[in-house]
Amino acid sequence: MRRKAGLILLALAVFFTALSPLLRWYVFPRLVKIPANQYQTMVLEAKNPTLLDYGTMQARTVPQVTIVETLKGDVEAAKKIDRTAGRDVVVWDGLSYVQGPDGKMVSRLPERYIFDAHSQDPVHATGETVDGDPVRRDGIEFKWPFLTQKRDYEYFDAQTRTTSPIHYEGTRTFRGVKVYYFEQTIPWTKVPMPKSMPVQGITPESVAKTGTTRWYTTVRRFWVEPVTGAPVYGEEIHKEELRGGTLLGGRDKVTAFAGDVKMREDYIKSTVALVKHNRLPILMLTSYLPWGFLVLGVCLLALSLYLEARGRRPGEQAPAEKAGTKEPDPVTAGSEEPGPVSAGTEEAGPVTA
């Protein structure tokens, strides 16, 4: 009975030990993915920024500028790319919409971002654009990979259409969540005029004829939850200038926008709550279950070996002894036993009077 139980425990030990790496390296990459139909909105604000009045071409301080960022998954486009790319792909149509204190548009920047659903690596396909211009991303954007590492990443900047490192600057705690802090500085760079201008009749082509150019710099900061790879908070110290040309009336440059852009408080709370909720399924597949199954497998193996050793312990009663049967004593040299009486032999009888 012990031997049979030991074999069962050994089989279970092998099963759970093999299941441990299988969950981490096979199941996790195939189950944990960004859904193709994801839709999300983020609102950021800049308090008391400097904003250009295109009517007077003078920079002034305004109470607030609001930036609404939306990301919408295009399921049909993702399916078409899936068939050629040979992997699960997500297509995000993004829009960064900036409005002034009066609610009117300051600028809008549409994007199409195509990436691997699990690794977040960019996937190069037709339709990858920024403001209608074809681009080729070589780094991440919006989201870090699942199980983010303590290292620098290549991050795509939509304004300059270039990729540069975003640096890991340490581990911090944000609203009770352990996060990795990343920072990227984009130096002053000449960038294209937005195709959608805030003043009717002014176009990028008409501005280009005046010789005026647009320049941009920013310090980009993200607090990233490492298990999900989702930023729980972000901000930018953002500056834009118009330089040269006849549009500025002889001035060398004028500030188009300058402000510290931060996530709005209600969106911070909802993002932190969502990230806390999404951490558990990932941790189950990458940490809790793999390590738990490995420990369980080792314990079952030890128990099966213990039962096997007990079954082979010397000095244990033989089965015949347990049944109460005693074996005959062995015959030794020099012992005499009465033989059988042969035919014709008379035994002496008793003497009578």
Same domain for 185 and 134, yes or no, is yes
- DSSP assignment of 58-120: EEEE-SEEEEEEEEEE-HHHHHHHHHHHTS-EEEEEEEEEEE-TTS-EEEEEEEEEEEETTT-
Note down pLDDT in tens along the chain; length 353 residues. 667 887 888 899 899 999 999 999 999 999 999 999 999 999 999 999 999 988 888 999 999 999 999 999 999 999 999 888 889 999 999 999 999 998 899 999 999 999 999 999 999 998 999 999 999 999 999 999 999 999 999 999 999 999 999 999 999 999 999 999 999 999 999 999 999 888 887 888 888 899 999 999 999 999 999 999 999 999 999 999 999 999 888 899 999 999 999 999 999 999 999 999 999 999 999 999 999 999 999 999 898 888 888 777 665 554 544 555 555 555 554 444 444 444 444 444 443 43
Q: Is residue 348 in a domain?
A: no
Q: Answer yes or no: do 26 and 45 share one domain.
A: no
Q: What's the confidence (pLDDT) of residue 250?
A: 85
Q: Are 133 and 13 in a shared domain? A: no
Q: Per the structure, how many domains does the chain have?
A: 2
CB 242 within 8 A of CB 200: no
- The answer to whether residue 17 is domain-embedded is yes
160, 216 Cβ separation under 8 angstroms: yes
Q: Alpha-carbon distance 77 to 311, whole Å?
A: 64
Q: Is 23 found in the same domain as 37? A: no
Residues 147 and 59 in one domain: yes
Q: What is the residue-wise DSSP string for 202-214? A: --HHHHHHHT-EE
- Are residues 67 and 198 both part of a single domain? yes
User: 117 lies in a domain?
Assistant: yes
Q: What is the DSSP letter of 248?
A: G
**Token pair in block for residue 90:** 């997500």
Name, in order, each residue with C-beta under 8 angstroms of 5's C-beta and a sequence gap of 6 or more.
304, 307
The pLDDT, as a whole number, for residue 324 is 52
Residue 343 CB-density burial (10 A; 0-12 exposed, 13-18 middle, 19+ buried): exposed
Give which of 261, 262, 263, 271 is closest to 230, Cα–Cα: 271
126 and 153 housed in the same domain:
yes
Same domain, 300 and 166: no
Domain co-membership, 187 together with 295 = no
pLDDT of residue 180: 98
The CA R_g of the chain, rounded to the nearest whole Å, is 40
Residue 344 lies in a domain: no
In a domain, 274, yes or no: no
Q: Which helix (H) or strand (E) holds 123?
A: none
Give the number of residues written for the chain.
353
Q: What pLDDT is attached to residue 201? A: 79
Residues 39 and 23 both lie in one domain: no
Is residue 153 located within the same domain as residue 242? yes
Q: Using CB atoms within 10 A of its CB, is residue 333 exposed (0-12), middle (13-18) or buried (19+)?
A: exposed
338 located within any domain: no
pLDDT, residue 340, reads 46
Q: For residue 321, is it left (φ>0), alpha (ψ between -120 and 50) or beta? A: alpha
Residue 241 covered by a domain: yes
- CA-to-CA distance for 216 and 160, rounded, in angstroms? 8
Boundaries of domain holding 201: 32-263
Q: Do residues 51 and 37 share a domain? A: yes
- The residues near 260 (Cβ < 8 Å, ≥ 6 apart) are 46, 47, 49, 235, 236, 237, 238
Query: Between 289-311 and 2-22, two packed helices, what is the crossing angle to 10 degrees?
Result: 160
**Is 254 contained in some domain?**
yes
Query: What is the pLDDT at residue 331?
Result: 53
